[in-house]
């Protein structure tokens, strides 16, 4: 999806996925016979338990563009580490002109995020997070930057195994 190695792909079978429409864009193609209108939609789907994906759909009608986007999103599902309804550590990522910063938050903080980032993290099942979106507010690039940031996150167990230390030592030094 975004060229990262540690991605854990997920099959959509058996998952109860909820889809969220991020953006619908009307595009115009000027032809000899006049203007031809079309629509492109970007959708985020997730099970609100760590599995999330996004997709893009294009069509002459809005409804079929959204349907195509949902099907595309189901093909691109990935697993995101969620620990105690937040992320294990802070991360940031850049995609195109969009720059996203994500930081874990304590229980009860809620989702402090703008519209596009909020949709992605809520679909992933993250309930407490702080975020900042800098640069471009283009929904396509913001969604891709948020995914890139979420996929850069490593699980504490993975870090402990990599360093050859106990899980307790990862948190307490």
Taking 80 as the threshold, does the pLDDT of residue 150 lie above it?
yes
121 part of a folded domain: yes
Residue 75: φ, ψ to 5° = -80, -20
Q: For residue 6, what pLDDT is reported?
A: 63
- Alpha helices (H) in 58-155, listed in sequence order: 62-75, 115-124, 139-152
Say whether both 64 and 99 belong to one domain: no
Quote the tokens at residue 63. Answer: 């409804």
Euclidean distance between CA atoms 146 and 121, whole angstroms: 8
86 part of a folded domain: no
Q: For residue 8, what pLDDT is reported?
A: 77
Say whether both 45 and 67 belong to one domain: yes
pTM greater than the 0.95 cutoff: no
Domain count, the chain: 2
37 part of a folded domain: yes
CATH number for 162: 3.30.230.10
Q: For residue 15, what pLDDT is reported?
A: 80
Residue 31 lies in domain:
18-79
Please compute the mean of the pLDDT values over residues 156-169 and round it to a whole number. Answer: 83
- Given 31, 52, 79, which residue is the final one in a domain? 79
CATH number for 65: 3.30.160.20
Say whether both 159 and 129 belong to one domain: yes
85 part of a folded domain: no
CA-to-CA separations, 58 to 3, 55, 67, 80, in angstroms, rounded: 23, 10, 9, 27
Say whether both 116 and 50 belong to one domain: no
- Given 51, 79, 107, which residue is the final one in a domain? 79
* Tens-digit pLDDT profile for residues 102-149: 999 999 999 999 989 999 999 999 999 999 999 999 999 999 999 999
Q: For residue 168, what pLDDT is reported?
A: 81
* Tens-digit pLDDT profile for residues 53-73: 999 999 999 999 999 999 999
Q: How many C-beta atoms surround the C-beta of residue 157 within 10 A?
A: 13
Question: Contact 44/54 with Cβ under 8 angstroms?
Answer: yes
Say whether both 125 and 165 belong to one domain: yes
- Given 49, 79, 109, which residue is the final one in a domain? 79
40 part of a folded domain: yes
Say whether both 61 and 122 belong to one domain: no
Euclidean distance between CA atoms 15 and 1, whole angstroms: 20
């Amino acid at each position: 999806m975004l060229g990262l190695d540690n991605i854990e792909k997920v099959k959509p079978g058996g998952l109860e996925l909820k889809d969220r429409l991020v953006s619908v864009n009307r595009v115009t193609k000027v032809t000899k016979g006049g203007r031809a209108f079309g629509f492109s939609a970007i959708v985020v789907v997730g099970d609100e338990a760590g599995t999330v994906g996004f997709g893009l759909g294009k069509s002459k009608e809005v409804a079929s563009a959204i349907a195509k986007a949902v099907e595309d999103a189901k093909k691109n599902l990935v697993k995101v580490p969620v620990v105690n309804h937040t992320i294990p550590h802070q991360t940031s990522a850049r995609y195109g002109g969009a720059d996203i910063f994500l930081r874990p938050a304590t229980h009860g903080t809620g989702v402090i995020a703008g519209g596009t980032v909020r949709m992605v993290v809520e679909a992933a099942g993250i309930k407490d997070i702080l975020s900042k979106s800098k640069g471009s507010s283009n929904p396509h690039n913001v969604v891709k930057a948020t995914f890139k940031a979420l996929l850069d996150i490593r699980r504490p167990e993975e870090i402990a195994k990599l360093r050859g230390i106990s899980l307790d030592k990862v948190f307490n030094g």
